[in-house]
Amino acid sequence: DGKSIYDQSRQALRKQMGIVLQDPYLFSGTIASNVSLGNEDIKRETIETSLKQVGAAELLKHLPEGFDEPVVEKGSTLSSGERQLISFARALAYD
């Protein structure tokens, strides 16, 4: 945005970044709870929009419970690509 990163504090700069790991970690819960990480400030609409924006609509169509599909710890029932989509959606939801 035309601003030098050197004019910002490290904390301010870090608040503007999101990290999506090659092999993301998913927690026990649902797809929706893995996107929001239980943060009640992230509304259901934001979760759904984030998942759709990263192209997870196809994934959700094949899951019986969609956004509320249970996820076992580490997401072992999902492919690595599906886990990454959820992680991308998490980064978007946290803006």
8 falls within a domain: no
49 falls within a domain: yes
Domain count for the chain? 1
- What range defines the domain where residue 64 resides? 26-93
Residue-level pLDDT, tens digit, the chain, 95 residues? 788 889 989 998 888 888 888 888 899 999 999 999 989 999 999 999 999 999 998 888 888 888 898 998 888 888 888 899 999 999 999 88
Q: What is the dihedral of CA 42, 31, 58, 23, to 10 degrees?
A: 100
Is the separation of the CB atoms in 47 and 32 below 8 Å?
yes
52 falls within a domain: yes
87 falls within a domain: yes
3 falls within a domain: no
11 falls within a domain: no
Is the separation of the CB atoms in 95 and 59 below 8 Å?
no
20 falls within a domain: no
32 falls within a domain: yes
In this predicted structure, what is the pLDDT of residue 42?
Answer: 95
The residue with tokens 């970690």 is: 25
User: DSSP assignment of 48-92, as one string?
Assistant: HHHHHHTTTHHHHHTSTTGGG-EE-GGGTTS-HHHHHHHHHHHHH
What is the value of pTM for the model shown? 0.79
